[in-house]
Amino acid sequence: MPSIWQKRRFVETLHQGGLVAYPTEAVFGLGCDPFNVDAVSKLLALKSRSLSKGLILITADFSQVSSYIKALPESVMSKIHDVNQEPTTWLLPAKESVPKWLTGDHETLGIRFIQHGLAKELCTLAGMPLVSTSANISGCEPVRTACHARLKFHSKGVHIINGCVGGAQNPSRIINPLLNKQIR
């Protein structure tokens, strides 16, 4: 478990526009401040990922993302707040003010209410959601340990926090609740 100092350094790195790696439910994630265009650009370049795909945000709770998404029907709200579900990324209708570097070619924003204890705590400490994409170069296997993340990304300026991934075997499922459609 990381120390208070390590968590503080992680948050400082985020607020300074740096890239971070952290454990999630199934794999290590790479992330940054979602509203820092320079940080997002660095992340996309590091992963060789197209801007058109859009990005996922992990969040500690709904209050961290409520200003970025349009009003949702109560039936959708109850689905996304169900704490007994497997890790799920919800494709929710983005407000027009949300930058295209987050939505890509889509009108939705990918939001995951993170269930991993450390990742959730880091979102809370940072006071914001985090961009969350698997810690890999596009098309390669994602890393599952802090040691492997360090070997792959430390030399590229990524701040890695110690911790273990959760017990999920696969990345989160992706669902558009308004269309009642599972994408992954």
User: In a structure prediction context, what are the per-residue pLDDT tens digits for the chain, which is 184 residues long?
Assistant: 899 999 999 999 999 999 999 999 999 999 999 999 999 999 999 999 999 999 999 999 999 999 999 999 999 999 998 877 889 999 999 999 999 999 999 999 999 999 999 999 999 999 999 999 999 987 888 899 999 999 999 999 999 999 999 999 888 999 999 999 999 8
128, two tokens? 């914001």
The predicted model scores a pTM of 0.94
Alpha helix segments (H runs only) across 24-113: 37-47, 74-80, 100-103
CATH architecture of the region 4-182: Alpha-Beta Complex (3.90)
Give the domain ranges of the chain: 4-182
In angstroms, how far is the first alpha carbon of the chain from the final one?
A: 31
Q: Is 33 exposed, middle or buried (0-12, 13-18, 19+ CB in 10 A)?
A: buried
